Structures are given as structure tokens and as C-alpha cells.
A and B are shown apart, each in its own frame.
Chain A
């Protein structure tokens, strides 16, 4: 091929490539679609502030928070044999004690992600958590719903019961919970989603945290000091709404 023609072709192709690159830069500088959106994270954590705004991925914040902390939990994970539906899984209606997940999955999560943990049977559990914490809800920041966080705690559960654990959370806390929240009759609407509430005041420097799990699977996380104050101090706070 003649040199002049070669040179000409080189130039044309190089210019074409550069023009296409410029066009790409223009269309891609802020590319987003249903799945893809740029984000920068200079805090070095996967969690970012817009997750907080949207109530997403509370576990990404929690895992940074508890990484170097000692967490007190009410009890170690209970075996499925302690629940009513044990031995009846094949019965008509496929009964299943959902408390098996609600009482244990946060515990599995903390055992994995906290630096260390202990079990204290004197900690509030179930309804007592709601009775004692809901009046102080204004002290807590709501980090959003914990569906996926709990859904993906199944690998820590070696009992391997209801191996479709993550489907439970997927169906119950996505499809069913959404339906319940938007029922036609407002009186029949309620919030099934497990929420994560964290009392932020002194949590940064606290060495020991207390994790309380309510009957509705809401999590209340606070420093040991705050917990002691709530139990020992006066409850002179506004009632918070759900």
C-alpha cells in the first residue's frame, strides 16, 4: 500500500477513534440506568450517606461500627428443636415458627461481624424491648429495613433448617410485607419490616454495645451505658410513632 495512502488511512482511523472516544466521554460521564449508577466512597466504607437517606443496607454501616467492638446479645442462637413447629414441617399447612428466624438471625449476624460478643440472659427480649425502647425512639436513628441483611445471615446457621431461609425473607419481607403495608383498610395496615435503630450519641467511642431484638424483629443498638441509663434512669421522653 502506498505510503501516502497508508498515512492518510492512519490519520482517518485515529481521528475516528478519537471522535468516538469523545462521544463516549460525553454520553458516559454520568451514565446511569436501572442497575448502574456511579458513586464515590472516600470514607473507605461501602456504606454511604445516600444509603441512610434511602434506608438501604444498614448492615454496611453496622459492620464498620461493630468491627472493633464487643456486643452483648440476649442469648445464643436457639435450635429449631426449641420451637413449636419442630417435627411438624410436613404437616398440612406447612406450619413454621417464624420466631426461629426473628429471635436468632440478628444474633448470627453479630456473631460474625462483631469483634467479640457475649450472651447475657438478663437483657430485654421480645415485647419487653418494644415496651422499653419505643418510648425512647426519638433518641435513635432509623437506618432502614434489614430484610437482606437477615436474609443473607443463613450461611451462619448450621442447622440448615428451612434451607430456603433467604426466600422466607424475600417472600415474607418483600412481597407479603409490601402487601400488608398497602392494604385498603388502613386499620389493617402495619409495618412488618424489621428496622435497625441505632442510638448514635456515644456509640463511636463505646467499647461495648447492647443489641436488643424486639418481637417484631426491630433491632435497637446502643452503648452499654445508654442501656443501663434506660433501665436504671427515669423514662422522661416523648412517645415516638412507628
Chain B
């Protein structure tokens, strides 16, 4: 065994530095995108979100290369990334925001040092992960084959209909840039997520009037509660697509709420565009969850044109572009999650959403617009009721599987208690506020209902075990639950 370990260490001598530099390069690229956009986002957020944005933009570039049939190689992807940067710069140059307004050299230095230290830690291999068969074949072997092939091929079969293509592109990084795993990439994204979660809680506390000491204590308490929770530990450490999906969905959800009252800022718009494009393709249900976020956010003051161009358009471009590529390849696997009917339905939903935003929202049916959040929940409830009628056995079985997984703590630990608390609290608040529901409550309720529906739509029956597909998707709600609980506690304290 020592002989094998020595051989691996010898043969993989370059992998550490290659992955380390890739992480820093993606961070630098994400930061460059923010700077080229010349927006009003704070320096703090430009630093913290630089890697998530850089990774999302890499994914978008890679997917564009694949969809357009351009040879899928390192140089072409980098060229596409350069074009994205250039396009951002051209638009950004028209703005009047000064590039270095508010620049703080100490903060910049802190970011650089923190990035280097955290990247070293992320790649060190000292932090554990969990691997399963899907980690090896869907999210490592398939990406390698994609790089080898230089593009999609009909023979990829179910890899094209069952694997989130954005997750596959992320996992191409090792084979494009000279290492073997994405462990470091995943850990570094987790670090970015935890740091941003803590800052978001802190800022919320300060906005609510808490002094620094109280805000810091509460931030530490809630962040620890979140980070130590079994579902977050399971999702963040498991080498699959769920971790990327959870984190990008949360960033979009929280920043759309946070920036709803602020003036338009191109850097934030670029971030939303890239993250929506990536989220739509990270998992097969990406389009549905993206639409949920968009509809929930439409309750805010974002203009309909902004919603359509900035939030819906990237989802449409990615989904429609991919479906066209997929079905022109002639892929027709024996077993698949995605088929042409679901593809048409998905594109139809996105187009319908755009029609709603441009033609109905704020124009006709003002009651609908004013109550879009509760309408969303009602629509999802009715939709779920419809699925129950269509195939009762599957629906009941799936609900039972969800319940048993929660009850048995399969990947949940004791977190099920907090889901029950959050659910009852949301329900009580809806009744108390006469169907007036907050953005946070809306999205949490909506995503749970959507997950139940999507799991029904995938066919087959869910099972009672941690690795069940439906259970893993439901585990992704953990940051939303903690966020809702914090929000409700804060409202009570600050009454």
C-alpha cells in the first residue's frame, strides 16, 4: 500500500500547484469581471464573490463552447471567457462609476492573503470529503471523456439527459488544467459560501439595529449552527452537483432580496446573469428552481425588462440552447430523466414567465402582481394536488420517503426539528398576516413544493436512504431554513 501511495504522489506531483493556481485564476477572473463592469457593489462583496462569479463564468463559457459546437479545449474556453470579459468591459465603460472609488488597500491585501491561505487549505487534502459511485463516473469520468472528445457526441447517451451539464463542466477543470480532482475547487467554494453567509447575517443584524457585539455573537451562533448542521455537512462534502446547486441558488435568492431597493449596478447584473445561467444547468431541475427565484424576486421593484433580460434570458439561452444541441445530436437513451416533452415544457415555462413579466406584471391584473408570492405558493399547491391525482401511489410513496428520511435522520441529523419549526412558523405567519407572506418564506415553501413535484416528474419511486436522489435535493434547503429562522427570530426581537 505504501508503494501505491508513493507512486501516486510521484505521478501527481504537479496536481497541487495546478489546482491551487486554477482557484486563484478563477478568483482573479471573477474579480476582473466585477471591475470591468464598473458597478456599485461594495469592495467586500467583490472580493468574497469573486470566486463564485469566476467559476460561474467559466461554466457559462464552457457551456457556450459546447452548445455552439466549438472544440471544447482549454484555449477555446479561455478565449470565450476573454470575450465575456471584453463584452462586460465595453458595456461597463459607458457607466460613470469610477473604478477605484472606495478602494481600501488593507482590505484588498486581506483578500489576497485570505485567498492564498484558503486555497492552500482547500487543495491540501486535509479537509475530508465523501465520494460515491456517481462522484467517480458522472462527475469525473464523464467530464474527462468530454474533454477527450472535445465536445458532445450522441454516444454520451444518458450522460446528456441525466447529468447537470454545468456540474460536468466544473469537473472538467482537472482535465483541462492538469490535476485529478475538484476537491480543492469544492472546498474553496464552500469557504466563499460560509464567509458570505456570515457576512450576510452580520449585515442583517446591523441593519436591524444590533450593536457590533450582539451582531457578532448572533452571526457566530447562526453561522456555527448552519455550518455544523448535518445536511450542510453532507451536501458540502459530497462530491456531486448538489453542493454547487445549493450555494448558487442561495446566493441568487439572498442577493436578489438584498439588492432589490438599490440602484441598478452592472457588476451585480453580470453576477446575476452568470449565476442564473449556471444554476439553470447545474442540475436537471435547475430551470424550475431558477424560475421560482425569479417569480419570488418579481415581488420586489425590479423592472419587468430587467427581470426578463437579466434573470430570465440567461436561463432561456442555456436551456433552449442545450436542448437544441441535444436533440439535434439525435440522443435517445433507453432510460432518461430529460426527454423532448420535458424540454418543450421547460422552454414553454420560461417563455410564459417572460410573457407574464413583460405583458401582465404591473400592466393588467394588479391583484396578481401585488400578491404574486402567495399566488406562487397556491399554484404550486394546486400543481402538487394535480400530480397526486395523476399518480397517487408515486406521490404518496415519495412523500413518505421524504418523511422517513427526515425522521430517521438520513443525512439530516436533528435538523428535521428545525424544518418542522420553520414550516409551522411560516404557516402561522401566513394566517396571522392574512396571506401576506415574506420573500424568504415564499421561496422556502416554494422550493420544497417544487422539489416534491420535480421528484414525482423524474419517474420512479424515491427510497428511504441518504443517497436517494430526492433526499439529496431536499438536503439543499438547509441554508434557506436557517435564513428563514434567523429572519423570524430577528423580527420578533425587533418588534
Minimal beta-carbon separation of A197 from chain B (angstroms): 14
Does A28 lie at the interface of the complex (its beta carbon under 8 Å from any beta carbon of B)?
A: yes
- Given A10-B217, A44-B180, A60-B136, residue A34 in contact with residue B467 (CB < 8 A): yes
- Given A18-B224, A155-B145, A163-B157, residue A42 in contact with residue B125 (CB < 8 A): yes
Does B161 lie at the interface of the complex (its beta carbon under 8 Å from any beta carbon of A)?
A: no
- Given A10-B214, A41-B183, A155-B157, residue A204 in contact with residue B131 (CB < 8 A): no
- Asked if residues B129 and A152 are in contact (CB atoms below 8 Å), the reply is no
- Asked if residues B145 and A27 are in contact (CB atoms below 8 Å), the reply is no
Name the contact of A17 in the complex, choosing from B12, B130, B221, B233 (C-beta under 8 A).
Answer: B221
**Residues of B73-129 whose CB lies within 8 A of A:** 123-129
For residue A32, which residue of chain B has the nearest CB?
B130
- Asked if residues B154 and A33 are in contact (CB atoms below 8 Å), the reply is no
User: Given the complex, which residues of A lie within 8 Å of B145, measured CB to CB?
Assistant: 112, 155-156
In angstroms, Cα B495 to Cα A1, docked, is 6
Does B222 lie at the interface of the complex (its beta carbon under 8 Å from any beta carbon of A)?
A: yes
Mask, A20-39, CB within 8 Å of B = 1, is: 11111101100101111111
**Residues of B223-239 whose CB lies within 8 A of A:** 224-225, 227-230, 233-234, 237-238
User: Given the complex, which residues of B lie within 8 Å of A160, measured CB to CB?
Assistant: 154-155, 157
- Asked if residues A41 and B221 are in contact (CB atoms below 8 Å), the reply is no
- Asked if residues B133 and A148 are in contact (CB atoms below 8 Å), the reply is yes
Name the contact of B411 in the complex, choosing from A13, A14, A33, A47 (C-beta under 8 A).
Answer: A33
Mask, B25-39, CB within 8 Å of A = 1, is: 000000000000000
Q: Which of B2-10, B250-258, B264-272, B356-364 has 4 or more CB atoms under 8 Å from chain A?
A: B2-10
Does A177 lie at the interface of the complex (its beta carbon under 8 Å from any beta carbon of B)?
A: no
Does A157 lie at the interface of the complex (its beta carbon under 8 Å from any beta carbon of B)?
A: yes
Name the contact of A36 in the complex, choosing from B333, B411, B414 (C-beta under 8 A).
Answer: B411
Minimal beta-carbon separation of B403 from chain A (angstroms): 17
- Asked if residues B224 and A45 are in contact (CB atoms below 8 Å), the reply is no
- Asked if residues A1 and B334 are in contact (CB atoms below 8 Å), the reply is no
In angstroms, Cα B266 to Cα A70, docked, is 49
Name the contact of A67 in the complex, choosing from B11, B155, B156 (C-beta under 8 A).
Answer: B11
- Asked if residues B125 and A43 are in contact (CB atoms below 8 Å), the reply is yes
- Given A10-B218, A63-B180, residue A46 in contact with residue B125 (CB < 8 A): no
Does A113 lie at the interface of the complex (its beta carbon under 8 Å from any beta carbon of B)?
A: yes
- Given A38-B237, A49-B1, residue A28 in contact with residue B144 (CB < 8 A): no
Minimal beta-carbon separation of A139 from chain B (angstroms): 14
Name the contact of B155 in the complex, choosing from A49, A154, A203 (C-beta under 8 A).
Answer: A154
User: Given the complex, which residues of A lie within 8 Å of B149, measured CB to CB?
Assistant: 155-156
- Asked if residues A40 and B234 are in contact (CB atoms below 8 Å), the reply is no
Q: Interface residues of B: mostly helix, strand, loop or mixed?
A: helix
- Asked if residues A14 and B218 are in contact (CB atoms below 8 Å), the reply is yes
In angstroms, Cα B8 to Cα A34, docked, is 28
User: Given the complex, which residues of B lie within 8 Å of A9, measured CB to CB?
Assistant: 492-493
- Given A9-B493, A65-B7, residue A39 in contact with residue B131 (CB < 8 A): yes
- Asked if residues A155 and B153 are in contact (CB atoms below 8 Å), the reply is yes
Does A192 lie at the interface of the complex (its beta carbon under 8 Å from any beta carbon of B)?
A: no
In angstroms, Cα B157 to Cα A1, docked, is 61
Mask, A65-85, CB within 8 Å of B = 1, is: 101100000000000000000
Does A188 lie at the interface of the complex (its beta carbon under 8 Å from any beta carbon of B)?
A: no
- Asked if residues B8 and A47 are in contact (CB atoms below 8 Å), the reply is yes
- Given A24-B230, A152-B141, residue A13 in contact with residue B12 (CB < 8 A): no
- Asked if residues A17 and B467 are in contact (CB atoms below 8 Å), the reply is no
Does A52 lie at the interface of the complex (its beta carbon under 8 Å from any beta carbon of B)?
A: yes
User: Given the complex, which residues of B lie within 8 Å of A17, measured CB to CB?
Assistant: 221-222, 224-225
- Asked if residues A40 and B128 are in contact (CB atoms below 8 Å), the reply is yes
User: Given the complex, which residues of B lie within 8 Å of A49, measured CB to CB?
Assistant: 1, 4-5
Does B310 lie at the interface of the complex (its beta carbon under 8 Å from any beta carbon of A)?
A: no
User: Given the complex, which residues of A lie within 8 Å of B8, measured CB to CB?
Assistant: 43-45, 47, 61, 64
In angstroms, Cα B137 to Cα A13, docked, is 44
In angstroms, Cα B234 to Cα A27, docked, is 13
- Asked if residues A152 and B221 are in contact (CB atoms below 8 Å), the reply is no
User: Given the complex, which residues of B lie within 8 Å of A60, measured CB to CB?
Assistant: 136
Minimal beta-carbon separation of B78 from chain A (angstroms): 21
User: Given the complex, which residues of B lie within 8 Å of A38, measured CB to CB?
Assistant: 128-130, 237
User: Given the complex, which residues of A lie within 8 Å of B11, measured CB to CB?
Assistant: 45, 64-65, 67-68, 204
Does A128 lie at the interface of the complex (its beta carbon under 8 Å from any beta carbon of B)?
A: no
Does B302 lie at the interface of the complex (its beta carbon under 8 Å from any beta carbon of A)?
A: no
**Residues of B373-416 whose CB lies within 8 A of A:** 410-411, 413-414
Does B494 lie at the interface of the complex (its beta carbon under 8 Å from any beta carbon of A)?
A: yes
Does A106 lie at the interface of the complex (its beta carbon under 8 Å from any beta carbon of B)?
A: no
User: Given the complex, which residues of B lie within 8 Å of A163, measured CB to CB?
Assistant: 157, 333-334
In order of increasing CB-CB distance, the 8 nearest A-B pairs are A42-B125, A35-B467, A24-B228, A17-B221, A38-B128, A44-B15, A21-B224, A14-B221
Interface residues of B (CB under 8 A from A): 1, 3-5, 7-12, 15-16, 19, 123-133, 136-137, 140-142, 144-145, 148-149, 153-157, 159, 179-181, 183, 210, 214, 217-218, 221-222, 224-225, 227-230, 233-234, 237-238, 333-334, 410-411, 413-414, 465-467, 489, 492-495
- The contact sample of 14 A-B pairs, CB cut-off 8 A, is A9-B493, A10-B217, A14-B218, A21-B225, A24-B228, A24-B229, A27-B413, A41-B125, A44-B180, A52-B4, A60-B136, A159-B155, A200-B7, A204-B11
